[in-house]
Amino acid sequence: MKNNLLFIGLIFTIIMSCTSKENAVKDITIGDLQFILKANKNIQLLDVRTPEECAKGTIENAIEINVTEHDFKSIALDKLDKTKPVYLYCRSGGRSKIASDILLKQGFRPYNVLGGYLEWEEKNKIK
Any idea which residues carry the catalytic annotation? 90
Phi and psi, residue 44, nearest 5°: -85, 100
Residues in Cβ contact with 41 at an 8 Å cutoff, skipping those fewer than 6 apart: 60, 61
Phi and psi, residue 83, nearest 5°: -80, -5
- 15, exposed or middle or buried, with CB in 10 Å at 0-12, 13-18, 19+? exposed
Residue 45 near residue 87 (C-beta atoms within 8 A): yes
